[in-house]
């Protein structure tokens, strides 16, 4: 699994003009699921995201987690995180999970976040969405479980 994580002051996701999810301080997390991903990838990624210390402490150092600051997550599925643009002009998305597997693992990821006592708002899998956000920092981190050893996946 892959995630692009952005620390935000605010973020929201819309389908047409319907707001599906909206957060203030927290993390906007774009989530991509690959063909070889399993539930253990979703769990490991969720645990890592929930525990990231990317919020400033009183000294201005990134020492606080989402829970420490009372933040929330806006999780948005994005299969194009597995797009490969190296050949030709149209990115190849063959490495992305099949839609039914992607939906299941995306929902598992969101469930694992909630199981870590994280408040989560969510986009809609398979929908054409608009994401609006105000970066804070900016702080952007790219995480992937690709290549993690079994021990790292739990």
Is 90 exceeded by the pLDDT of residue 65?
A: yes
Report d(CA 26, CA 148) in Å as an integer. Answer: 26
Q: How large is the average pLDDT for residues 68-80? A: 97
Q: How large is the average pLDDT for residues 74-101? A: 95
Share of the chain above pLDDT 90, in %: 94
The secondary structure element, H or E, covering residue 54 is strand 53-56
Is 90 exceeded by the pLDDT of residue 154?
A: no
For residues 13 and 145, is the Cβ–Cβ distance under 8 A?
Answer: no
Radius of gyration of the chain (CA): 15
Write down the domain spans for the chain: 2-146
pLDDT tier, 146 (very low <50, low <70, confident <90, very high otherwise)? confident
Contact partners, residue 136, CB within 8 Å, separation at least 6: 7, 8, 9, 25
Give the chain's largest Cα–Cα span.
49
CATH of domain 2-146: 3.50.80.10
């Amino acid at each position: 699994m892959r995630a692009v994580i952005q620390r935000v002051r605010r973020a929201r996701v819309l389908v047409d003009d319907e707001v599906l999810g909206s957060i203030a301080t927290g993390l906007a997390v774009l989530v991509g699921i690959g063909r070889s991903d399993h539930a253990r990838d979703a769990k490991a990624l969720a645990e890592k995201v929930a525990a990231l210390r990317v919020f400033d402490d009183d000294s201005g150092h990134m020492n606080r987690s989402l829970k420490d600051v009372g933040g929330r997550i806006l999780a948005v599925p994005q299969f194009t995180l597995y797009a490969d643009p190296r050949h030709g002009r149209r990115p190849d998305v063959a490495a992305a999970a099949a839609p039914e597997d992607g939906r299941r693992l995306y929902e598992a990821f969101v469930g694992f976040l909630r199981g870590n006592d994280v408040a989560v708002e969510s986009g809609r899998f398979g929908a054409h969405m608009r994401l609006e956000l105000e970066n804070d920092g900016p702080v952007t981190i790219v995480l992937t479980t690709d290549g993690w050893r079994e021990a790292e996946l739990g």
